[in-house]
Structure 1
Amino acid sequence: MWRILLIPPRPPYDAGAFKLQVNFPPEYPFKPPSLTLNTPIYHPNIDQKGNICLPILQYDNWKQAATITNVLQAFIFMLCNPEPDRSLRHEIANEFIVNKEKFMKQAEEFTRKNAEKLP
């Protein structure tokens, strides 16, 4: 298991740091690792328990040649580019689609209130 302190590169999440846990199954790299975000976040693809919807980690999509760097890059890309079609939190996904400005403001405020302080 790895524990990572992630600082997203751009708004609305760059105002804080996020604790990410990476669990490697015994069958890794033949089975994908799992990611859990241990810091609350306002994001359509991450639920309140920290479960993450990331296609690269789905069993049918996993390629054993994928590296943990590929996984983390995909996670950061998804974090900065929400995918409302793959949402775990439909109300936030709808807000992102209907009123992106409001979503950005809500996400930034939530980050300032709930994320880890920047090192």
Structure 2
Amino acid sequence: MAGRLAKELEEARSWGGARELRPLGGDVRRWGGILLPNNPPYNAGAFRFELSFSPHHPLSPPCATLCTPILHPAVDPEGRVCQPLTSPEHWVPSIRAVHVLQDLLLLLDTLDPQRVLRPDLARQLQEHPQEFLRRAEQHTRQHAERRPDPPAP
């Protein structure tokens, strides 16, 4: 499993949606990095995440957690993410870690009313979208990390 995860880490590092991707504490089963959303209201910052793999990977899905506070209907206050791709009923061993990260970035770039862990925020998004977007951008500016400079060509 360590060999597969090392290869997947290299594959994920070549994808441009995450930066600073590395094993945490030297453990190839725990990755950390930052996501760089493309769309408002979250593109005002960068979001630190952790991706944890079970000893049974790839037979069981990894767990994604956002470590940076975010005001998002699909992310609970502890950073747990509503990510159907990694739910046991949808997981297949051929899904690669880079797909999980791409799905996580898509979650931040597209507010999906079907992915809800915080009904209060989902309701505000549906009933008062401009107010929600304003609050989410303000929260992002207060809590998210500064976006890193683009990599040199």
Q: Which residue among 14, 18, 27 is the counterpart of 2:43? A: 14
CA contact (8 A) 1:40 1:48 kept: yes
Distance 1:77 1:5 in 2: 14
Q: SS of the residue aligned with 2:64?
A: strand
Q: Which runs of 5+ in 1 are unaligned?
A: none
Q: SS of the residue aligned with 2:131?
A: helix
Q: Deviations over 1:62-115 (max 9, x none)?
A: 011001111111111111112223311111000111121111111100000011
1:24-103 superposed matches below 5 A = 24-103=53-132
Q: SS of the residue aligned with 2:120?
A: helix
> More strand by proportion, 1 or 2?
2
CA RMSD of aligned residues (A): 0.9
Distance 1:45 1:86 in 2: 5
Indicate the percent of aligned positions where both proteins have the same amino acid.
37
CA contact (8 A) 2:52 2:63 kept: yes
Q: Which residue among 127, 138, 141 is the counterpart of 1:109? A: 138
* Greater RCO (CA < 8 Å, at least 6 residues apart): 1
Q: SS of the residue aligned with 1:39?
A: coil
TM-score (norm: length of structure 2): 0.75
Larger Rg: 2
Q: Which residue identity does 2:133 align to in structure 1?
A: M
Distance 2:111 2:83 in 1: 11
Q: Which runs of 5+ in 2 are unaligned?
A: 1-29, 149-153
